[in-house]
Structure 1
Amino acid sequence: MKICQNCPCSSPSISLSSLASPCLNSELSLSLSLLLFPAESPTSPPLPARGTTGGKVSGVRGGVDVFLPSPSQPRGRFVLGRPRRLKVFSMALFIYFDYKAVQKRVKWVGAGKKDAIWTKTHERNARRVLNLMIELEGLWVKMGQYLSTRADVLPEPYINVLKQLQDSLPPRPLEEVRGTIEKELGKPMNDLFANFVLDPLATASIAQVHRATLVDGREVVVKIQHDGIKDIILEDLKNAKSLVEWIAWAEPQYNFNPMIDEWCKEAPKELDFNHEAENTKAVSSNLSRKTNCESGAVSSAVDVLIPEVIQSTDKVLILQYMDGIRLNDNDSLEAYGVDKQRLVEEITRAYAHQIYVDGFFNGDPHPGNFLVSKEPPHKPILLDFGLTKRISQSMRQALAKMFLSCAEGDHVALLSAFAEMGLKLRVDMPEQAMEIATVFFRQSTTANEAKENIKTLNDQRERNVKALQEKMKMNKKEVQRFNPVDAFPGDAIIFMRVLNLLRGLSASLNVRIVYLDIMRPFAESTLLGSMTRGPTANSQWIYDSPVNSEVESKLRNLLLELGSNKILGIQVCAYKDGKVIIDTAAGTLGKYDPRPVQPDSLFPVFSVTKGITAGMVHWLVDKGCIHVIQVHHLLNHTSGLHNALGDVMKSDPLLVCDWEEMLHQITKCTPETEPGSEQMYHYLSFGWLCGGIIEHASGKKLQEVLEEAIVHPLHINGELYIGIPPGVESRLAALTVDMEELEKLSGFRAGPDVPQELLSNVAQMATGLPVLFNTLNIRRAILPAANGHCSARALARYYAALGAGGAIPPPHSGGGSKPPLGSHVHTPKFPTMPSKKKKKGGSKNDVGVADKDGYTQLRTSDGSDEGSTVSAVVAGNGSGSGSSMFVDGGTKMLDAFMGVGDFSGMIHPNGKFGLGFRRYGYGAGAGEKVATTTFGHSGMGGSTGFCDVEHGLAMAVTVNKMSLGGVTRRVVRLVCEELGVPVPDEFSVAGDKGPDMVLNLAPPE
């Protein structure tokens, strides 16, 4: 065997970073660094190029040299136990108090001197950290390497000083290396290698790598673990755990114990080179596959190289040699013409594939674990798979859902993803949760933008702390010690660490990466691949519930026929003569939510809400609180306030979430036309006008009236809301748009009651509405014209009662569908919020934190919301038989709904609306007489509820894939035709559609 020393072939193709033990979790490292490095501190200008001389690294700012111990000097590996721990803690305390002192000092100096003070402070402490890490080696070198990659968040002096750790440490003696190789492989080195290069390619804290040639002529690299390193790593893990606990005590807002626990579990795996060999083979195999995505076969075109594994033992690993350029060798990258942007994008794609598609990924993507091939197209070379994490399919799906929910701004899907991955929150703050989660997937920044990035992150943190303080009614000290996370999943920790390391990688190469664009196809591949792609893919696409009738059986066949091309999620429920004949649910809760739609799922139904609001107005009229003559213009859409608050909403769309402010603003509006003269559809103003009257006339909150008038009498608790409460998010359907039907809008013209300016923006509005209405701040808002959330079975029961003049129908059997209608607590407490203990002798009316926040807790005298068993609620479901929602119900109430009989003078002549409800005619295009026994209300996108009084039919359809109503019309036509009931014009092929069904768009002329 030939031993080469100072041979030209010993180029540094593998850096020490690829050999060291795993560093602290990215979030821990980042947070520790932000703790020590104040956000307002400036960054320093670039350092001059470094060169190495003998045992020292020169060129550090100010001419200060950092000395590396020579092989003959005492090394950190020989120091175990108390001395090692003492060094770590004493240095941490020293640096901590240094920064605290500087924070006080800069308060008394001029603004022009602050930058210089902070720069010197960073340089001083960066050198202290570097010297300690070099002395101790082991785990601490790895941490320093990680910090040196975070140019996007750390002050520049730390980056410039700590990046010295990317260079190789002094090597171990050849005798130690030879002894380990021969012991592990069982043969003399002469029998193993034709050539072995004496100088290592790199030396790190766990191992060092030598280039060699096997006796069969293959060029390889040999990775040899340092003798005794295992004890050092385990000791360092123990010290790191203690350090995290101390920091959590000193600064409670930085409690990262769950993260360090996960790291301590994963880190020792890197000490087994057999484990690394198997990981390398698995990742190489996975990345060579193709991935099916929604748009077709998206090749893993993850164009990367991975060395072949030749042989492995516990402490020796032999790999194929690949000659490449290190990522921190900027001069060589420039000389070879490497496209850095494409390089980092390809690395990001490779990790997206590993995480979302394979569920098996390298948890340590720092610059030292990559090379760049010297031959065009300069592919990335992936190295070091010691710290490789395997996650379950359910966790992959949850991580994909979290990613895509951030991309779509879908709060419900995000909270669902949190629940699925095991992340539990103690506080109900969905907006802040979305903001924090989105930080992980934000576009990367360059090193030059680090200062501004740090400021942005800290500003965001301060806003979140302030919001938490207000939410929890805590003082500043209390909120610092409050941890909003009840449980944090270990698998997610490594995932977040990888994202931050990739961000640091892009910053170090000064490129920007849009993670939402690059990683999205892979996340979609995982999530959509796990979802039912249509009824033929899974017999459970239709929710497993008993069939109530022959017509329901035929309806389910229709849903199978329409399939997933037209349906995402749907519920259909129908009553005939007071009995349930259909109660079907099918599909999924959202485009990125594969959970099945169930009978109790809550769908946003837009203007279907108007029919519910109108019912409350009629209930107050029946109670004598108001007279119908006072509100008939509002109910009939003839008040002239159809455009009220349009300017306010344009200037601040989210102002609609402020119920009290919108009620105040609506009082300032004046009619555009003489009340009663024209019927112009009141898209949103209907809700504020009617809602304000409801609250003023009743002296109660709108939700209280909703419960008293509709929810409790009908026993539909938990399945009908106007503005949802916290605690029902797991049952919410998410909206999406049928893009094929949206393209048809270009040929339509506005109907008589649709403003042309609305039509001109209809496509933009239709695509923007799902994003807006999928956010929880909108879902929780009180919008009585457009923000109802309900199940089809609750809505159908409501119309069954209205169609009977208010008479409450028999119990909703629904063929035994589960869970039973009315079995939910209507206003649940936030599930993970710890309740406050009552003080001894406290009032029974005392409420916990959850009662004071978010949705107003509504109570009723019978206490049916709290403590009722499912059986008791279901038993009470039929107690309304023979009773009525109204005192003076029956025919008179039906006349009022439809604006006939004594109420005919209160509606607009030939108008399509009665008093609050749309009147449906029959026989469109056949010259038949318009019928006046069918009424109801549809919502934009296809959801609807109506009743046919004459034929005893009440029906509701809820959908979450917004379209021009084609699916709903097909469903209604089938049911009506099978029952021998005339099809209302709203749902016929030739009839006029209501303004909310398709915005009353007329076909092209």
Structure 2
Amino acid sequence: MGVVSEIARRSASRNAKLAKIPLGIAGRAAVGFGKKLVGGDKTQINASLNQKAAEQLFAVLGELKGGAMKFGQALSVMEAAVPEEFGEHYREALTKLQAAAPPLPTEAVHRVLDQQLGTKWRDRFSSFDDTPAASASIGQVHRAVWSDGRAVAVKVQYPGADEALRADLKTLSRMTGLLSSVIPGADVKPLLAEITERTEEELDYRNEAANQRRFSAAFDGNPHIVIPKVVAAAPKVIVTEWIEGTSVSAVIKAGNENPSGTKDLRNRVANLLGLFHFSSPEVVGLLHCDPHPGNFLVLDSGKLAVLDFGACAPMPSGFPEVLGRMLALAVADEHAALTELLYEHGWVIPGRKVSHEEIEAYLRPFSDPIRTDTFHFTRAWMQRVAGKATQFSSPEMKTARALQLPAEYLMIFRVLGGSVGILAQLDAELGFMKLVRTWVPGIRTDQAS
């Protein structure tokens, strides 16, 4: 039980499992409506329906692995935006997807290693633990010892992951309306489009190895950030140094249980995460594009270790200078000039019109972190922002429908959104504007002087 022989490859089989989600939710909604008609407690009935919908959604996504689980993991970082009335069940179900999936059988793992590292792959290891230490959307991680005595992590891609990933993403793209209703505040459609776009490069672990080697070299000797070195790589297997630490998921859990006792730790983690994401484009020329708590570890030394470099966006010149100029104008409340810049650089859909008053009103809910040097990211703040961002009939949404995100900014805002989600889960304070003024051209302090 719980062990999958292989990812279900056939599209019909996977579609049938994904189809359970809308059918199950619709059925429960009908039952709930019937209970309300006979005088059942509306709040209690809604809570029960939401709990069952969440459990089913994330159980199916986790079981399928592939694109379905990858989508679930991307959603999980937005857990802080889920309104409180949807309860802890959403939080728990979302968080489970950050690390959990049924393991691949040992013989299947050995078969992949035979194909990728050669039939004498055992000679390259002093020892290899057949029990997986962790699982991910398209692979699972085993602990081993390399022939030179180094502890290593061996990530093995699930057989059929490529076909499954493509099939899932195609199916999920047809369910965006339903998924948006189950996960309030999540902008599902662009999230899926972006995951689909990055699929092919993530399926070849040699791309991940190349990205990780660049990060590892750039951060080598850094006093705050640790990147494990790549030991070996093949299309479906990657071997990296093993890093021992406490996952940021565990730090978030500890913060929920003991807010006052973990405050300093949570703030330190937030500032390290901010430093990593803001500095990477300039230091490495790449942006790490998979921000969820399972990809970050706090070491005993106090440093932050970063894992999983399958999704990275090239930024050879650091952050775009125009982005900094936009931020500077927003900070200075110069919305007329900001609106001109938006038109000039393709942020307004051709043929649409927006005024600077509309831009100012649209940005107001999101602009709190740029109003002070240090900002406290909380679930309550994020829920408020997400609530405003999803009021379809509001003037702000009318403005949003006139705007578009140019392609070169898509991953920046994906990482920003995911990182803010983690910060809100951490309930942490971050010197946000200090990082902006240090690392973003166009608003950088040394440029302003």
Q: 1:102 to 1:285 in 2, by over 3 A?
A: farther
Cα deviation, 1:763-810, whole Å, max 9, x if unaligned, reads xxxxxxxxxxxxxxxxxxxxxxxxxxxxxxxxxxxxxxxxxxxxxxxx
1:454 aligns with 2:383: yes
Q: Is 1:500 aligned to 2:424, yes or no?
A: no
Letter in 1 for 2:387: N
Cα deviation 1:662-700 (Å, max 9, x = unaligned)? xxxxxxxxxxxxxxxxxxxxxxxxxxxxxxxxxxxxxxx
Asked if residue 353 in structure 1 is aligned to residue 247 in structure 2, the reply is: no
The equivalent of 1:70 in structure 2 is 3
TM-fit CA distance, 1:308: 0.8
Q: Secondary structure at the match of 1:78?
A: coil
The alpha-carbon deviation at position 382 of structure 1 amounts to: 0.4
**Which of 330, 334, 348 does residue 424 from structure 1 map onto?**
348
SS of residue in 1 equivalent to 2:239: strand
1:84 aligns with 2:84: no
Which structure dedicates a bigger proportion of its chain to helix?
Answer: 2
Q: Deviations over 1:871-919 (max 9, x none)?
A: xxxxxxxxxxxxxxxxxxxxxxxxxxxxxxxxxxxxxxxxxxxxxxxxx
Identity, in percent, stands at 24
2:413 maps to 1:484: no
1:646-665 map, 5 Å:
none
- TM-superposition CA deviations, 1:269-303 (whole Å, max 9, x none): 111111011111222344469xxxxxxxxxxx771
Return the TM-score normalized by structure 2.
0.81
Q: Separation in 2 of the partners of 1:288 and 1:416?
A: 42
In the TM superposition, 1:84-483 aligns within 5 A as 84-92=14-22, 94-95=24-25, 113-154=41-82, 155=86, 156-244=88-176, 260-287=192-219, 303-330=224-251, 339-355=265-281, 359-374=285-300, 376=301, 378-391=302-315, 393=317, 396-419=320-343, 421-425=345-349, 426-437=352-363, 439-440=365-366, 442-443=368-369, 449-450=379-380, 453-455=382-384, 457-459=386-388, 462=391, 465-466=394-395, 483=401
Q: How far apart, in 1, do the equivalents of 2:232 and 2:262 lie? A: 32
**Quick one: distance in 1 between partners of 2:434 and 2:445?**
21
Aligned residue type for 1:275: N
State the alpha-carbon separation in 1 of the partners of residues 20 and 397 from structure 2. Answer: 34
Q: Report the 3-state secondary structure (helix = DSSP H, G, I; strand = E; otherwise coil) of the residue aligned with 1:381.
A: strand
- Select the structure with the greater relative contact order (CA < 8 A; seq sep ≥ 6): 2
8 Å contact kept, 2:362–2:396: no
Secondary structure of the residue that 2:290 maps to in structure 1? coil
Give how far 1:409 is off: 2.5
**Alpha carbons of 1:257 and 1:118: their partners in 2 closer, same or farther (altered >3 Å)?**
closer
- 1:616-627 alignment to 2 at 5 Å? none
Is the alpha carbon distance of 1:115 and 1:345 closer, same or farther for their aligned partners in structure 2, counting shifts above 3 Å? farther
TM-aligned CA distance change 1:398 to 1:97, over 3 Å? farther
Counterpart contact for 2:270–2:423, Cα < 8 Å = yes
Could you list the per-position Cα deviations for residues 228-248 of structure 1 after superposition, in whole angstroms to 9, with x for gaps in the alignment? 111101111211222238889
Shift of 1:416: 4.7
Q: 1:410 to 1:70 in 2, by over 3 A?
A: same
Aligned partners of 1:430 and 1:108: how far apart in 2?
51
Distance 1:412 1:233, change over 3 A: same
CA distance in 1, matches of 2:37, 2:345: 44
Q: 1:313 to 1:396 in 2, by over 3 A?
A: same
Q: Distance in 2 between matches of 1:183 and 1:484?
A: 50
Q: Distance in 2 between matches of 1:429 and 1:102?
A: 45
**2:372 corresponding residue in structure 1:** none
Q: Distance in 1 between matches of 2:405 and 2:299?
A: 39
Distance 1:513 1:277 in 2: 31
Closer, same or farther in 2 for the Cα pair 1:222/1:135, shift >3 Å? closer
| Helix, strand or coil at the partner of 2:246 | strand
The CA deviation at 1:149 is: 3.1
Q: Measured at CA, do residues 398 and 71 of structure 1 come closer, stay the same or move farther in structure 2, by a change above 3 Å? A: same
Alignment partners' CA distance in 2, 1:100 and 1:414: 48
1:304 offset after TM fit, Å?
A: 0.8
Give, as a single letter, the amino acid of the residue that structure 2 aligns with 1:70.
V
Matched-pair contact (CA < 8 Å) for 1:152–1:503: no
> Any idea what SS the aligned residue of 2:354 has?
coil
What's the secondary structure of 1:195's corresponding residue?
Answer: strand
State how many pairs are aligned. Answer: 429
Letter in 2 for 1:327: V
Deviation at residue 181 of structure 1 after TM alignment: 1.8
- Whether the 8 Å contact between 2:140 and 2:158 is mirrored in structure 1 is yes
Q: 1:188 offset after TM fit, Å?
A: 0.9
Could you tell me whether the CA contact under 8 Å between 2:289 and 2:311 is conserved in 1?
A: yes
Letter in 2 for 1:484: A
Once residues 72 and 170 of structure 2 are traced to their aligned partners in structure 1, the CA distance between those partners, rounded to angstroms, is 18
After TM superposition, give the deviation of residue 206 of structure 1 in Å.
1.0
Equivalent position SS for 1:389: strand
Query: Using the alignment, how far apart are the partners of 2:296 and 2:355 within structure 1?
Result: 39
Per-residue CA distance 1:613-632 (angstroms, 9 max, x = gap): xxxxxxxxxxxxxxxxxxxx
The Cα offsets for residues 308-354 of structure 1, whole Å up to 9 and x where unpaired, read as 11111111111111111122224889899971211111111110112
Tell me which amino acid in the other structure corresponds to 1:84.
Answer: R
Partner deviation per Cα, 1:390-422 (whole Å, 9 max, x = no partner): 146496122323333333323245335534653
1:842-866 deviation line (CA, Å, top 9, x unaligned): xxxxxxxxxxxxxxxxxxxxxxxxx
Amino acid at match of 2:169: L
Distance 1:142 1:319 in 2: 21
Aligned residue identity for 2:102: P
**Structure-2 separation of matches of 1:205 and 1:460:** 29
Structure 2, unmatched stretches of 5+, are 370-374
Paired with 2:199 and 2:50, the residues of 1 have a C-alpha distance of 29
> Do the aligned partners of residues 255 and 440 (structure 1) sit closer, same or farther apart at CA in structure 2, a change above 3 Å counting?
closer
Aligned counterpart, 2:427 = 510
Note closer, same or farther for the CA distance 1:129–1:529 as it changes in structure 2 (3 Å cut): closer
Structure 1 unaligned runs (5+)?
Answer: 1-54, 56-68, 290-300, 472-481, 534-590, 592-737, 739-1005
Report the AA paired with residue 51 of structure 2. E
How far residue 86 of structure 1 moved from its aligned partner, in angstroms, is 4.0
1:712-861 to 2 correspondences below 5 Å: none
Q: CA RMSD in A?
A: 3.9
Task: Please tell me whether Structure 1 or Structure 2 has the larger radius of gyration of its CA atoms.
Answer: 1
Distance apart, 1:368 and its partner CA: 0.8
Counterparts of 1:22-37 in structure 2, within 5 Å, are none
Alignment of structure 1 residues 595-994 onto 2, 5 Å: none
Contact 1:398 1:420 in 2 (8 A): no
Superimposed CA distance per residue, residues 947-974 of structure 1 (whole angstroms, 9 cap, x where no aligned partner) = xxxxxxxxxxxxxxxxxxxxxxxxxxxx
Q: Is the 8 A contact 2:204 2:236 kept in 1?
A: yes
Question: In 1, are the aligned partners of 2:78 and 2:422 still within 8 Å (CA)?
Answer: yes
Kindly indicate whether the alpha-carbon contact (under 8 Å) linking 2:247 and 2:294 is maintained by their aligned counterparts in 1.
yes
Alpha-carbon distance between aligned partners in 1 of 2:225 and 2:322, rounded to the nearest angstrom = 27
| CA displacement, residues 437-479 of structure 1 (integer Å, 9 cap, x when unaligned) | 46556447666x44x743454346549724677x9xxxxxxxx
